Structure 1
Amino acid sequence: MPNMTMNIIGLQEYQPDPDDLCSLCGGNYGKIAMIGGKGGIHICLGCVDVLVDVKKERESKKRDEVETALRTCLAGTGAGITPLAAKCIYDSILNKEIPHIRID
């Protein structure tokens, strides 16, 4: 009787290409479905949406802070300023329509 040996074939654990992984959430989306950045960073569209929302929130908060500061500053002079006017001033500074003034 012939001698039979059976080899058990082991399954290799799947290791995705690092370029296919989102650098923020770690999701496997494939390099084509992500935005590439400096230093080999790849960001999926879901994370891009989150980053856009965070940026909008920060800009809105900064705009409100500048509006309050402008109104407070001008209130002491008796000139007064409406919230809309303060926001227009902020937007003009941000869009570089007022020279030599910068908002960080």
Structure 2
Amino acid sequence: CLAWVFFRADSVGNAWEVLARLGALKFEMANLITPVFSIPIGGAALPVSVLLVLILSYLAHWFPKNALDRLQGGWGWLPSPVQAAMILSIAFGLYYISGTEVQFIYGNF
């Protein structure tokens, strides 16, 4: 993770400055809260889709185990064509939201 700072920084000096600020742990509350509520959709910051997956994953942790067992058992009783249709719809949905642009991560190295 620390190497990513050097990949994205404009210069080595800027990278060291970012790491020094991280090490100082001097954060203002406004700087911590504001980026969460101003997430640009499809921007360079955290996409809303990723934020939703993180929130749903966290909530799934607190889901009762017996409810998960019922869902898993219900999936096993679904007919194969229904299972295939659900899996294909998820695959197409993931393909649709994946986007076409791939970032060149070594550009600033």
Q: TM-score, normalised by structure 2?
A: 0.23
The higher relative CO (CA closer than 8 Å, separation ≥ 6) is in 2
* Structure with greater helix share of residues: 2
* Structure with greater strand share of residues: 1
Which is greater in Rg? Answer: 1
